[in-house]
Amino acid sequence: MTKVKICGLMEMEHVKVAVEVGADAIGFVFAPSKRRITVEKAKELAQSIPSSVLKVGIFVDESSEEIERTFHEVPLDYVQYHGDEAPEFIKKIGLPSIKALAIQRSEDVGSAKRFDVDYFLFDTPGKDYKGGSGERFDWRLVQDVTIPLDKRILAGGLNADNVGEAIRQVKPYMVDVSSGVERNGEKDMQLIRAFVRAVKDEER
Ligand SMILES: O=C(O)c1ccccc1N[C@@H]1O[C@H](COP(=O)(O)O)[C@@H](O)[C@H]1O
């Protein structure tokens, strides 16, 4: 079964509904964004998340000190590197890691071989920020890549209507959504429920 990550949560009611409907991971954005959360607030929300649900922190070109401090303080299970972090930087920090790759051309996946990370997250290049654009990229660009299926996370403009087709085409280990579970720029409980249901309805 494809795993689901709900990203950019900032309110307790949204965390609770995501957990209740069966999200496998929850993402907190610590980078410049309209979804940016403080370490203190993420720590408070994290206390209501069972250990079976992974807590992921999203960072964009952040210092190693701040990443390490946030990881232990919240605490987090994974660091999602969503900027231009070098492979050596990620390796030196040595925390469980996800590297986001902005996919515009098929060559964009090629940089993956430089990174020793747990997962790769394929995303649409951001406009206002580095991610969370709400726009999808051409999924054919990541269909024939050599990255193992169980290391692939698909993001970028997913929603309850298109995630089934995305899973069939890309066969990711996990799908990741932020904008697609928002209404008028805010997270929406019905959309969170609908997204997770759409993923769970889809068999690998
Ligand atoms: O969500 C943000 O604001 C954000 C800011 C900076 C880096 C990453 C961000 N979000 C990530 O973007 C993808 C896709 O989001 P969407 O569903 O297209 O809105 C997701 O991995 C978020 O973690």
Among protein residues, the one with the nearest Cα to ligand 1's atom 8 is 131
Residue 185: predicted pLDDT: 92
Q: Which domains does the chain have, with CATH numbers?
A: 3-200 (3.20.20.70)
Query: Would you call 138 a catalytic residue per the annotation?
Result: no
Q: Is the pLDDT of residue 75 over 70?
A: yes
* Phi-psi region at 56: left, alpha or beta (left = phi > 0; alpha = psi -120 to 50): beta
Whether complex ipTM tops 0.85: yes
Q: Using one digit for the tens of pLDDT, what is the confidence trace for 103-154? A: 988 888 888 889 999 999 999 987 766 777 789 999 999 987 888 889 999 9
Q: Using one digit for the tens of pLDDT, what is the confidence trace for 167-191? A: 999 999 999 999 999 999 999 999 9
Q: Is the pLDDT of residue 204 over 60?
A: no
Give the global pTM: 0.96
Preceding amide of 172 cis, omega within 30: no
Residue 96: predicted pLDDT: 98
User: What proportion of the chain, given as a percentage, has pLDDT over 70?
Assistant: 98
Helices 64-73 and 39-46, interaxial angle, to 10°? Answer: 30
- Pairing mode, strands 152-154 and 174-177: parallel
Query: What is the rounded (10 degree) CA torsion for 195, 101, 15, 66?
Result: 180
Q: Which residues line ligand 1 (CB under 6 A)?
A: 7-8, 27, 29, 31, 33, 35, 58, 60, 82, 121, 123, 129-134, 155-158, 176-180
pLDDT band of residue 203 (cuts 50, 70, 90) is low
Range 72-98 average pLDDT? 97
